[in-house]
Amino acid sequence: MKFARLATCLVALSAGAAAAADILFETPSDDRWHYPFNFTPGSRGQASIFGAVFENFNDRDACVILAWDTSELIPAGQGAEAYEIEAIHVTITNQANAFVGPAWAPDTTVDEWYTYDANGDGLLNADGVDRGEPGDTDGESDDADPGRPIELFGAAFEPNGLFDESTWTESSFFFGGNGDGDIPRNPYPFVHDEFGHRLHTEDSIKGLHNDALGVFQYTPTPWAIGVPHGYTPGAQSTPFDIHFDVDLSLESDQVRAYFQNQLDRGRVIVMITSLKETDLEGTADGFPSIYMKEGLIDPGARPASLTVTLTQCEAPGDVNGDSLVDLLDASAFVDVALGVNQVPGARQRADVNCDGAVDGLDIPALVDLIL
């Protein structure tokens, strides 16, 4: 059963006006603790998020994959450009008194890769060479602020013959570093470079998996950083939310395009990661642990939610874009419905009833406007 609801349009439908709608998906279709030692994928109730800058493990070691089926409320297959996204918001809920306390200092800023112990020697700048300068082999320096951010990235899939973006589920086989080698994740968190190529971020400190693009150690900018709400360090007796507001303008608007393509396919997938340090075989302390949809037994426990804000109905009915709504728009509407008219913006204007689709339900509304 899908738990999703459509919030009320903020602006009423009218010719020449834009309507914004917040569309809320309260429960993921899939939520996976993407960790090599998760022996109950698809049925685990909680998931901790931390980093492990160790050889043969991914830097972003324990992360979470979240997927929502959006096709029930936002019709898929309309063409990516039809989805005019204003905002993407994700909320996760952290357990009370679980892996939190004085050791977990929420950080809402990006931390450079060289503020981590990149070579695992436990020392800061042991080679004595300034970070990034010729001869720098370790690249470490102090982090100016305490804590490590919780990050949101897109999810990319490498073809491996087992699954892809459409067939992956929360119980799919794990691919990644598990102590046996520096293996890239699949799926993996990613950002785009300046040329639009996808860069692996799971091992950005070690500088792995992007050799073909000439990228090694680097600092990826997360698409959103989690902001805790209602968290009391060291005395947290109730669950609290962590909010992510995606910056859709990042990477020359390719982040927006990512979500437009996802809505067109009917499924939104993101990855939540952190480089909050942990010790090899150490205690599970000092990092977030969130509720999965299978673990909602505590009061206040909630699964991860997704809110998509769409701009709809810009000049609805004026399908041909001549600032009039008349019989010429009826002909243009038919062309859009048949896929003949590919003029930018025409599909949005043909969605006269603002339901995200261009179909027979728009015809009565278009007739009313023409008359």
Q: Which of 312, 339, 361 marks a domain boundary?
A: 312
Residues 26, 174, single domain; the answer is yes
Alpha-carbon gap, residue 225 to 346, rounded angstroms = 35
Bridge partners of 301, per DSSP, are: none
Residues 85, 233, single domain; the answer is yes
> What is the crossing angle of helices 327-337 and 362-370, to 10°?
160
Interior/surface letters 227-255, b for 16+ CB within 10 angstroms, e for the rest: ebeebeeeebeebbbbebbbebebbeebb
Q: Is the pLDDT of residue 316 over 70?
A: yes
Q: What is the pLDDT of residues 123-174, one digit of tens each?
A: 777 878 776 677 676 777 777 788 899 999 999 998 777 899 999 999 999 9
Residues 275, 321, single domain; the answer is no
Residue 12 confidence (pLDDT): 27
Alpha-carbon gap, residue 25 to 151, rounded angstroms = 20
Question: Which residue, chain included where needed, has tokens 């804000």?
Answer: 309
In this structure, is residue 365 part of a structural domain?
yes
Q: What is the CA radius of gyration of the chain?
A: 23
Q: Which of 291, 312, 333 marks a domain boundary?
A: 312
Residues 323, 283, single domain; the answer is no
Residues 213, 77, single domain; the answer is yes
Bridge partners of 202, per DSSP, are: none
Residue 265 confidence (pLDDT): 96
Residue 278 confidence (pLDDT): 80
Interior/surface letters 79-112, b for 16+ CB within 10 angstroms, e for the rest: eebbbbbeebbbbbbbbeebbbeeebebbeeebb
In this structure, is residue 117 part of a structural domain?
no
Residues 218, 326, single domain; the answer is no
Do the beta carbons of residue 168 and residue 187 sit within 8 Å? yes
Q: What is the pLDDT of residues 352-361, one digit of tens each?
A: 877 667 888 8
Q: Please, what is the average pLDDT of the chain?
A: 84
Residues 320, 208, single domain; the answer is no
Question: What is the token pair recorded at 100?
Answer: 């939190």
| Tally of structural domains, the chain | 2
Q: What is the pLDDT of residues 182-219, one digit of tens each?
A: 899 999 999 999 999 999 999 999 999 999 999 999 99
Residues 336, 298, single domain; the answer is no
Q: Which of 282, 312, 342 marks a domain boundary?
A: 312
Residues 216, 259, single domain; the answer is yes
Paired sense of beta strands 198-200 and 85-94, if any: unpaired
Residue 303: CA count within 13 A, CB half-sphere: 26
Which domain does 342 fall in, by range?
A: 316-370
Q: Is the pLDDT of residue 324 over 70?
A: yes
Q: Which DSSP category does 8 fall into?
A: P
